Chain A
Amino acid sequence: MAAGSADKFSVLLPTYNERENLPLVVWLLARTFQQSGNNFEIIIIDDGSPDGTQEVAKQLEKIYGSDKIVMRKTISVLFSLGTAYIHGMKHATGNFIVIMDADLSHHPKFIPEFIRKQKEGDFDIVSGTRYKGNGGVYGWDLKRKLISRGANFITQVLLRPGASDLTGSFRLYRKEVLQKLMEKCVSKGYVFQMEMIVRARQLGYTVGEVPISFVDRVYGESKLGGNEIVSFLKGLLTLFATT
């Protein structure tokens, strides 16, 4: 039986001011999928970027074909990751959805490993983890790593989620699973990604893990502030009390 010849993978790329990185991500995605022989499409959901991201996306559509690159504008009001995914999924024609960051912190080369892992265990979700195996991070200093490990530890103790990396956003979902989860998840930001996994487990979905490397080129500009930590903790406690 041909391995997954009927499978199609829709990659959702929410973007804001990614004029520089978008072509590179798309190039890497196209190359990865062409090499692995999987059918794919890339859905770009842009939040009204003022830097010309949409213009670049249109150029990419010309280069790769509009069956491969789908450009979706969102209404700028209330843009969040959740609404971007919902919006993107409406037009997704694949039976699997890949979500990832568009700023090159996630490398598309891991997607074939996600696909392989999914087949191996017939998983509903495959989550990229920075914390297990040879997963890891580049560009974080000791303080950032400490915050990351500390937050993850608290999360593991409180939620016992059965997955090592809850705040990661490099994942493969079955389309129906993602749709079901989007209906149920209400949080924002980091907590949104956590809630997806927690709810998935509640609903009996299976989660597999693949070690990934996260290359942070942005950290120098966007430090993890006290505000983010506070809202993370608030979100965590909310999940603790409600799930």
Chain B
Amino acid sequence: MTKLGQWLCGLALLGSVWAALALAPPGLRLPGPYRQALLPLPVYLLVAFGCYSLATVGYRLATFNDCEEAAAELQEHIRAAREDLGRRGLRF
């Protein structure tokens, strides 16, 4: 199954459970307060996911390593390479 397929199945499953419990067709009634709490649940989850996303990306951005030493080392290597290749007869 494709990832899209998995998402659709998952959403359909959760969606139907939520609809059954929160929208409460007759025959499957939960006590009132429970239904009231369940109703806005999808929106809450969406907002929670949004917050999680922002926090995660923010954290990863802040901890994104800057490779200063790698850049400096590369400069060194470039110098050595040009010197050695010149000795071996490379015409740049």
Contacts and interface: CB of A to CB of B under 8 A. Distances in A.
Contacts of B57: 146, 149-150, 153
A112 to B, nearest CB: 15
Given A23-B90, A24-B78, A145 B71 contact: no
B70 interface: yes
Contacts of A152: 60
A120 to B, nearest CB: 23
B2 A243 contact: yes
Given A63-B88, A145-B61, A240-B3, A24 B82 contact: yes
A163 interface: no
B67 A241 contact: no
A241 B56 CA distance: 25
Q: Which of B3, B4, B88, B89 has the most C-beta atoms of chain A within 10 angstroms of its own C-beta?
A: B3
Contact of A136 (B61, B66, B84): B66
Interface in B51-92: 53, 56-57, 60-61, 64-68, 70-71, 73-74, 77-78, 81-82, 84-85, 88-92
A81 interface: no
Contact of B65 (A23, A24, A134): A134
A24 B2 CA distance: 43
Interface residues of A, number: 39
Contacts of A146: 57, 61
A35 to B, nearest CB: 13
A111 to B, nearest CB: 14
B84 A27 contact: yes
> Chain A interface secondary structure, helix, strand, loop or mixed?
helix
Contacts of A59: 89-91
B84 A153 contact: no
B64 A145 contact: yes
A135 B65 contact: yes
Given A28-B77, A159-B3, A241-B4, A139 B71 contact: yes
Interface in B8-39: none
Contacts of A158: 3
B68 A149 contact: no
Q: Which 10 A-B pairs have the closest CB atoms?
A: A136-B65, A213-B67, A213-B70, A27-B81, A138-B67, A138-B71, A241-B4, A136-B67, A149-B60, A24-B81
Interface of A: 20, 23-24, 27-28, 56, 59-60, 62-63, 104, 107, 131, 134-139, 142, 145-146, 148-150, 152-153, 157-160, 213-215, 239-243
10 contacts: A24-B81, A59-B89, A153-B60, A157-B53, A213-B67, A214-B67, A215-B70, A215-B71, A239-B3, A240-B4
Given A24-B82, A107-B70, 5 more contacts: A136-B65, A138-B66, A153-B56, A160-B3, A241-B4
